[in-house]
């Protein structure tokens, strides 16, 4: 981690006029860290503040990333009869399960993992000999004859799909949670959300946690969108956005019906500016989460911490973001 004292030229204090504020403010880079596995390209993460005198409570974690689309929490994500996501599921089962060969502990490549998972399905959810299958952190479970097996919707508009989980929940239990706990999840089709990488990384060291608020800005379209950290993801992947978030940033309005359609919501080479508000998970929290109450909370936090409006913040922190 590279610490940048505010009192020296290394602080990179940039005078800015922040839209929505009467006075010019400063964007202060307090600290710099990097993200990425050893030997790979290291992405820079900046911890910034609106001015040199502001408190830790006003910190923002700022970075740029290409956002892959994430569908978790959507009840149409995974289907036991469409493991590739080419018919009616919006994701490939390989993104929801992990299969290891017990003899050497190696994780199988997607095509082989899909075959083993199909055998698991066809054997009434009993693992094939010689393999371990991890699915419980992405697929909802139900108990059958004392065993935990993947939960498949038996009725309603989601009939035939697996229930899909997110780390962040709506706080619903019992019948309110619905079949396969569907109502307790953050449905990534409709909620603008970001995925927080797992493991020890710069985002977490700077204070980011599941449930924190954020904004994302696409310079190419000019769209700024409030979001929430709703799920945990791979330790080596900095940028994942929900279907709803990427649709907003790319100005798309048609929901994907298959995995190839979902992949078209990746931002590709477009670098999205992201600002996470660390330690904001409990700020004016409203559940169940919705795009509307998330945006209202972000707007309220920015106003109460002297940052002005969402669009103004995106423009103001741009000079302090990594290049």
Supply the pLDDT for residue 315. Answer: 80
How far, CA to CA in Å, does 320 sit from each of 13, 297, 315? 8, 24, 10
Assign 28 a pLDDT band (cuts: 50, 70, 90).
confident
Q: Rounded mean pLDDT of the chain?
A: 90
For the chain, how are helix, strand and coil distributed in percent, rounded to 5? 25, 25, 50
pLDDT (tens digit per residue) in 158-192: 999 999 999 999 999 999 999 999 999 999 999 99
Out of 53-57, 177-181, 212-216, 250-254, pick the least confident: 53-57
Task: Answer yes or no: do 175 and 197 share one domain.
Answer: no
- Does the residue 246 lie in any domain? yes
Last residue of a domain, one of 129, 149, 184: 184
290 and 250 housed in the same domain: yes
Q: Are residues 314 and 240 in the same domain?
A: yes
Q: How far apart are CA 88 and CA 189, in angstroms?
A: 15
Is 210 found in the same domain as 98? no
Is residue 237 located within the same domain as residue 130?
A: no
Determine which helix (DSSP H) or strand (DSSP E) holds 261, and give its type and residue range.
Answer: helix 259-263
Quote the domain boundaries for residue 67.
1-71+188-323
| Shared-domain flag, residues 29 and 130 | no
Strand 240-242 and strand 68-70: pairing?
Answer: parallel
| 257 found inside a domain | yes
Structural domain contains residue 81: no
For residue 83, being part of any structural domain is answered with: no
- The answer on 195 and 281 residing in a single domain is yes
Same domain, 258 and 121: no
pLDDT band at 312 (very low <50, low <70, confident <90, very high): confident
Residues 286 and 270 in one domain: yes
The answer on 202 and 164 residing in a single domain is no
pTM check: above 0.85: yes
Predicted confidence (pLDDT) at residue 52 exceeds the cutoff of 90: no
* 133 close to 108: Cβ distance less than 8 angstroms: no
| Distance from C-alpha of 146 to C-alpha of 287, rounded to nearest angstrom | 32
Q: What is the three-class DSSP state of 278?
A: coil
Domain count, the chain: 2
Backbone angles phi, psi at 155, to 5 degrees: -155, 170
Last residue of a domain, one of 184, 210, 243: 184
In a shared domain, residues 194 and 59: yes
Instruction: Tell me: do 251 and 292 sit in the same domain.
Output: yes
- Predicted confidence (pLDDT) at residue 8 exceeds the cutoff of 50: no
């Amino acid at each position: 981690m590279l610490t940048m004292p505010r009192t020296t030229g290394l602080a990179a204090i940039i005078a800015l006029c922040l839209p929505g504020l009467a006075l010019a403010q400063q964007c202060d880079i307090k600290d710099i860290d990097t993200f990425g596995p050893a030997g790979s390209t290291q992405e820079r993460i900046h911890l910034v503040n609106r001015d040199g005198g502001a408190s830790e409570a006003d910190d923002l974690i700022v970075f740029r990333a290409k956002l892959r689309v994430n569908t978790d929490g959507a009840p149409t994500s995974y289907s036991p009869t469409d493991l590739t996501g080419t018919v009616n599921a919006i994701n490939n089962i390989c993104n929801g399960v992990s299969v290891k060969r017990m003899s050497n502990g190696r994780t199988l490549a997607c095509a082989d993992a899909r075959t083993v998972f199909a055998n698991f399905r066809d054997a009434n959810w009993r693992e094939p000999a010689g393999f371990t299958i991890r699915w419980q952190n992405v697929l909802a479970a139900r108990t059958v004859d004392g065993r935990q097996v993947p939960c498949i919707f038996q009725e309603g508009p989601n009939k035939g799909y697996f229930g899909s989980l997110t780390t962040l929940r709506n706080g619903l239990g019992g019948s309110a949670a619905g079949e396969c706990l569907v109502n307790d999840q953050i449905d990534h089709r409709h909620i603008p959300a970001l995925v927080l990488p797992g493991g020890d990384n710069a985002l977490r060291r700077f204070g980011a946690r599941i449930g924190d608020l954020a904004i994302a800005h696409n310079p190419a379209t000019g769209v700024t969108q409030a979001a929430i950290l709703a799920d945990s993801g791979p330790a080596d992947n900095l940028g994942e956005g929900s279907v709803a978030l990427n649709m907003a940033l790319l100005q798309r309005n048609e929901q994907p019906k298959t995995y190839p359609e979902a992949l078209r919501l990746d931002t590709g080479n477009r670098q999205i500016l992201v600002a996470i508000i660390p330690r904001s998970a409990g700020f004016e929290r409203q559940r169940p989460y919705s795009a509307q109450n998330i945006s209202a909370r972000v707007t309220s936090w920015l106003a109460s911490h002297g940052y002005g409006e969402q669009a103004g913040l995106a423009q103001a922190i741009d000079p302090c973001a990594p290049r």
